[in-house]
Structure 1
Amino acid sequence: MTETIADDIVAGTRRVPVSRAYRFELVKLVSQWRIRLLVLACWIAPALFVAAVSQQSTLPSDTLFGRWMHATGWAGSLVVLGFAGTWALPLLASVVAGDVFACEDRLGTWRHLLVAVRSPRRIFAAKALASLTVILLLVAGLACSSAAGGVVAVGNQPLVGLDGHLLTPADAGGRVLLAWVCVLAPTLALAAIGLLGSVALGRSPMGLLLPALVALAMQLAQMLPLPVAVRLALPGYAFTAWNGLFTSPAQLGPLLIGIVVSLVWAATATVLAYLLFLRRDFTNLSYDGSGRRAITTGLLPLAGLTALTVAVVAVATPSMGSGIEQDKVQRSVATAFAHLYRIQTQQLNRPAVTEAHLRVTAACNKSGGQVAPQGAGNDWRCVITWHLPGVEAAGTAIYQLDVASDGRFVADGDGPKEVNGYFLVRTPTGDAPNPLWQFDGNVELLDTTLKG
């Protein structure tokens, strides 16, 4: 009789829908003081930072697009994006997703939550969606705040791309927005790793730190002389692959591969976290994660996924070298110089020229020709030659290049002084930054990159 009554009560109990559990988990997250501080910081701090730096006489020229913060408001948002991909986004994923399950272990509230929701599956879905919502809110704050701060402080001006071509304000704004959207993919991958760590390691602080540690490991890997296929197979590559959006034509191949790899990692880590969560023991109040299960169900599948993505990318894009070769460096440097020379010509109010008239070429070597001209390093040297209409003698300029392993390079002018010897040039409207003094560029790492 008692069993029949109990069965009737269970059968008559109405299940709590995922939407209601999601709202409950979202309220729990945003009620935490550290989440509220993060939201305020992401929606206010970038605007103040960009506006303050844009008014300074010294700019972060060692940062991508940093030297253009005086010229256009869109550059500041890209500076913030570069910093966010390195530090801010991994930390946000750690704080939000890395603690969403572990907090219940610390407080000992699993039994209360199970009684209220009555389904581990809906609990997992609600917590995952709530953490995703908060992370999207934080990323949106970084993007909107930095863009608004730059446009208000400097103005909606054209932006110089990584190959020297000039982007209209509308085009620049659209690409900046697209760049922020693209970094959502690796951010979701880190958030999924945070969910996995939070489930597998319980109340251990390692679960909270796992996304940041994984991001740090991927950054270190990108600094090593690894083959291009290995770099593209790591989800962290998408944090820098957005650079390809600011060339003409856009270098979309590495970016699309990085996004796909990141989404595969996000899906895999979320499924692993879900399976671990359904198998855990909620009756043990001292449960602190299962080491063996975390390795067999969490670590080993991700290691296998890494090997699989490396193999797939290596077959799809046969680029097992560094991707940085002499002809690619020469082509990138010559293209950027030709575009920037036209900008300098307009600044100095000289007769207009086109890239076809200039016929710019570059001759680059590494370590003075003592080593093979390939691979990253700060020992690249380029001699650029161009021609002006009606002038018989060709012009030449020398640049020292520091080429990073991800293909980004900084070209530092080494003469003549009339071309790239001074930071400022005197224009009819006053002094302005010399675009040929120092400029950034991007080497196309893949031999066959999708064009867009």
Structure 2
Amino acid sequence: MTATVAETPTSPDAPEAARPVPVGRVLRFELVKQFSPWRIRLLIILCLIGPGILIFGIKQQATLPSDTLFGRWMHETAWAGSLVTLGAAGTWALPLITSLVAGDVFASEDRLGTWRHLLVAVRSPRRIFAAKAVASLTAILLLVTGLFVSSVVGGLLAVGDKPLIGVDGHSLAPGDAAVRVLMAWVCALAPTLALAAIGLLGSVAMGRSPMGLLLPMIAGFGMQVAQMLPLPVVVRLALPGYAFISWIGLFDEPQQLGPLLIGIAVSLVWAVVATALAYTLFVRRDFTNLTNDGTGRRALTLGVLPMAGVFLATIGVLAAATGASGSGIDQSKIQQSVATAFAHLYRLQEQELNRPPVTEAQLAASASCVKSEGLTAQEGPGNDWRCTVSWHVPGVSLTGQAVYQLDVNANGRFIADGDGPQEVNGYFLVHTSDGDVPNPLWQFDGNIDLLPTH
């Protein structure tokens, strides 16, 4: 027999003992419990000082994490360090935070056997759920804010407020860069909320089982692995994890907002559905069972299957609404992205060498790219793309050419590695009157919009 505690309607004249405890009092109690464990306090300390210390450490090194998006610019501007932190957080830190906070908020009561005491004191399962959910959200927002503030302050102290080079090679003024970095962190909250809701669902459904604690981490890592696989673009967009990547579009010009807005919307849908499922399971559970290790079949029917249904429905909606098919990566998109980034970065190189300024229109840069020497279909990800960039310098009759090897990831991001000529992109430093400075054309990043372009 299932036993639950229902809220009993009360009148203003009813005795105090019959009324459920106000949500505010329950929330204060849950916040105290949320921040009491040593692991949460340790997480707060790590989030507040960890990114700043890491950025300071990288500043003292001669080498940079050039294989990380914006990593090669960490010695040039504070905003690059914050974005590198955001990229790493989306892969590792945020799934871990949601697991330790939301994934344990209900399961801890099962391990301690305190449900009966809590229900007698509060007299409302609904208010208990609301208080625990809000307390978890508060803790997660505090930890994410700590990561952001630490990365920004550490970068400003170590490097300074300088222009940031966007993902397509154009220069962003410090103020513009700061706004876009803040927007990127705010956008990353959407998939974080989705993982937190999955944590709530796992914590309710799994009882004392450690799987509830691990579920957000497993889901987060699984989504990141899925983004590395050659999946169709609609499948990629239907996963909340894509919003941990699509903020890159904020640093393109024009901004690639389509994939980002889709990623945010999908993440919020997952967050709402998973939270509603967790609430349904919680108010229906048997609180008289002191050895609850999960709700078994109900966890499957009210947990896994509905989320799978949301995933499949999202794929269908996105396929119909966007018309996207395949990988979303084709030859024309790569050629345009490479040529645009090269033109922007060529101007930066000319500025470093104190040469007369040129415009993108004067350069008229174009790129010719082939995959696997033209022996396979000219589309899809891979490290076998090779591009030849051509451009014109005013007053020079010859056409300049440079070769790049491209490693195009399935999520649309690519790294272009210079392959000559040496004076253009063959060495990572260029000689100037003030000494050697990084060569912006040696390696550069790019981002391809996976949605159809018209």
Taking structure 1 as the reference length, the TM-score comes to: 0.96
Q: Structure 2: which amino acid aligns with 1:191?
A: A
Cα RMSD for the two superposed structures: 1.3
Separation of aligned partners in 2, 1:427 and 1:177? 34
8 A contact 1:185–1:262 mirrored in 2: yes
8 A contact 2:367–2:388 mirrored in 1: yes
Aligned residue number for residue 399 of structure 1: 404
Between 50-59 and 406-415, report the one with greater CA deviation: 50-59
Q: Structure 1: which amino acid aligns with 2:214?
A: L
Separation of aligned partners in 1, 2:295 and 2:417? 53
Aligned residue number for residue 157 of structure 1: 162
**Aligned pair partner of 1:419 in 424, 432, 435:** 424
Superposed displacement of residue 394, structure 1 = 0.4
Which secondary structure state, in structure 2, belongs to the residue aligned with residue 180 of structure 1? helix
Which secondary structure state, in structure 2, belongs to the residue aligned with residue 378 of structure 1? strand
8 A contact 2:161–2:174 mirrored in 1: yes
8 A contact 2:19–2:123 mirrored in 1: no
Aligned residue number for residue 251 of structure 1: 256
Superposed displacement of residue 54, structure 1 = 1.9
Instruction: Give 1:347-362 correspondences, 5 Å limit.
Output: 347-362=352-367
Superposed displacement of residue 13, structure 1 = 2.8
Instruction: Give 1:365-444 correspondences, 5 Å limit.
Output: 365-444=370-449
Separation of aligned partners in 2, 1:177 and 1:78? 10
Which secondary structure state, in structure 1, belongs to the residue aligned with residue 104 of structure 2? coil
Instruction: Give 1:7-406 correspondences, 5 Å limit.
Output: 13-406=18-411
Superposed displacement of residue 9, structure 1 = 7.5
8 A contact 2:71–2:81 mirrored in 1: yes
Separation of aligned partners in 1, 2:158 and 2:371? 41
Q: Structure 1: which amino acid aligns with 2:442?
A: W
Cα distance per residue 1:282-322 (max 9 Å; x no partner): 11111221110000000100000000000001111111111
Q: Structure 1: which amino acid aligns with 2:129?
A: F
Cα distance per residue 1:129-168 (max 9 Å; x no partner): 0000000000000011011101110010000001000000
Q: Structure 2: which amino acid aligns with 1:297?
A: L
8 A contact 2:416–2:445 mirrored in 1: yes
8 A contact 1:54–1:150 mirrored in 2: no
Which 4+ runs in 1 deviate beyond 6 A?
7-11
Which secondary structure state, in structure 2, belongs to the residue aligned with residue 210 of structure 1? helix
Separation of aligned partners in 1, 2:15 and 2:370? 77
Cα distance per residue 1:218-272 (max 9 Å; x no partner): 1221122111111001111000000101000100000000000000000000000
Aligned residue number for residue 6 of structure 2: none
Which secondary structure state, in structure 2, belongs to the residue aligned with residue 186 of structure 1? helix
Q: Structure 1: which amino acid aligns with 2:302?
A: T
Cα distance per residue 1:366-421 (max 9 Å; x no partner): 01111111000000000000001111110000000000001100000000001001
Superposed displacement of residue 10, structure 1 = 6.4
Superposed displacement of residue 428, structure 1 = 2.2
Q: Structure 2: which amino acid aligns with 1:293?
A: R
Separation of aligned partners in 2, 1:444 and 1:299? 31
Separation of aligned partners in 2, 1:40 and 1:113? 30
Separation of aligned partners in 2, 1:10 and 1:262? 44
8 A contact 1:317–1:448 mirrored in 2: no
Q: Structure 2: which amino acid aligns with 1:54?
A: K
Superposed displacement of residue 14, structure 1 = 3.4
8 A contact 1:111–1:283 mirrored in 2: yes
Superposed displacement of residue 55, structure 1 = 2.2
Separation of aligned partners in 2, 1:77 and 1:224? 27
Aligned residue number for residue 3 of structure 1: none
